[in-house]
Structure 1
Amino acid sequence: MADKIPKFSDLPLDKNGPHHNAWGLYGPHDELGTLNRLTPDIVKAASSEIQTGHRIGLDWPLDAQSDLPFFGRQAFHKEVYQKPPRIVNDDVWTFNTQSSTQWDGLRHFGFQKEEVFYNGVTLDQIHGRNGVEKSNVNGIGAWSKAGIVGRGVLLDYHSWRVKEGRGHDAFATASISVEDLKAVAKSQGTEIKFGDILLVRSGYMDAYNRLSRSEIETLRAKQPLTFTGVEQSEEMMEFLWTNFSAAGGDHPSWEAWPTQKEYALHEVMLGGWGMPIGELFDLETVAEHCKSLGRWSFFMSSEPCNVPGGVASPPNALAIF
């Protein structure tokens, strides 16, 4: 399968489209992007990761950020109500799909200068403006049909960095390099296979969990917000393109924020390749379990919510060992 995708150096595929795009690789109307790499054979091979049946959820609680989500997003609200006279309860949840653990879908972030999303979808198509009929194209509901299921790989950058004696500020703009991620994989003895679902433990959750409410309020008020994340570089793009079906981590921006280049990885990954970006994954428990086993790969199952035209979704993700 790996030999059937274009080399990174062949991008952009659509020479009339934005930089580094892979538009048309799976047809002009494709809505799965790099999830097409999760073929039945790839998923079947990933099932060999299940050896003990131990399961660990990767979703942070939906209300984990309380009333103080970053990026000005709406907080999670839950209303539980009885339905008298019966002894019965219902509940209503209201939340921003990106206020906790999330997959960014293909409607979330497009190429900023060109104003287009994956496979050339426009804002007018999404919102039904300027005489264009509104549609559900590129909606995250398309990903729910087969889910995001395969071999998950955790690169525990945080533990490796601590061992190396390196400093780290999760709330300052800084970059995690490809060189470092490869060093983490080597240190763990982790082989990366084509089609893997990449999860990077940056140390954000560990840092966030140590903050007081007043410290969160101060950080939240910063403009622009600043976070450590993976670097924006040709090397990082090639690493991601060559190996993975989806990529994410425990941090709120995935990439160093604000971007350190004239482009953002979000543009290329979501808008160019259709590669899901995961953010705010809770990787603390799974990191501990991986360390106890000496194995940082597992079978991963995630089913985004089936919302036609949705922008993002909680992953509903499990790591299965």
Structure 2
Amino acid sequence: MSTSSVQAGLPLSTIPIFTTVQAYREWRQNAFLDQKTVGFVPTMGALHDGHLALVKRSLAANDLTVVSIFVNPAQFAPHEDLATYPRTLPNDLALLADLKHLPSPSSPPRTPSALFLPSVQEMYPSGISQEVGRQSGTFVEVKGYGEQMEGRSRPTFFRGVATVVTKLFNIIQPTNAYFGQKDIQQGLLLRRLVTDLHMAHPAPERLHIVPTARDPASGLALSSRNAYLSEAERRTAPALYAALQAAARAWDAGESKARCVRGAVDVLEAAARAGAAEGVEVKVDYVEMNDPGTFEVLGEEARREEAPVVLSAAVWVGRTRLIDNIVLGDTRGMIMG
């Protein structure tokens, strides 16, 4: 049992919990002295099998694994779901405690080594408002990379992501860090960030993007926000991945970008008609194809040899906004196998 859990009034945990930067840094210094590698999985909690897949990757590749849980106010616009975002700490701790990796038959199993669970005050000593115009203190922007794709629909989102991840990397000092492909723009933008800021923890090549974890039956990308979906909405939501698959097949068959995107929209519009019979509203936010290096929109004249291409989409299913993507072409060096 972690004494830090008891002192902070947190749920009982077999995993040490650090709620302050100072306490965590004392632990991290010992890992440096012991020459231990540290893997890091940043999360906002409400853990699911997608998160656990990232933790398993870290356990397999690192001596020690740190998970953070922090619902970051800076990446929620004032109208978004900060107050209602699912918070399931006792269940999160139970899921993490069950994870084990055996490096070799003669070695003890690896389990998550630490949980970093900071308060908003700990992460934002100058305070934080969801309204950008009222914020004070230090914030991080990756200019030219946060306005496309998801950034068009959520203009302040990547400013919040870049800021909190910079803080977390400075605190955790990971050897390796792990992100899911479902949020591929986030992962690629953060690689740009650690490259431009010459970060050593992690180095750019040690920021890993792991393939999206999906429901084995429906293909729906696993997400904490899936908890918002009603039963009828959950039956409709897999249309998002089906739409991307239809566009990917068209691309592989040599169709133009416009036809590929139209094919995906057709699938989503058919799902909207079917969902309406069950009272489910489906609204397409975007379907687009972008360059993974610049995030610029792919031109109609793009050739197949210019792959890889990020094919992505966002839809509203009821009041829940879902995102997903498929990377077309050679993903070596971009996404973990």
| TM-score, scaled relative to structure 2 | 0.24
- Write 1 or 2 for the structure with the bigger share of helix: 2
Higher relative contact order (CA 8 A, sep 6+): 1
Q: Which has the larger radius of gyration?
A: 2
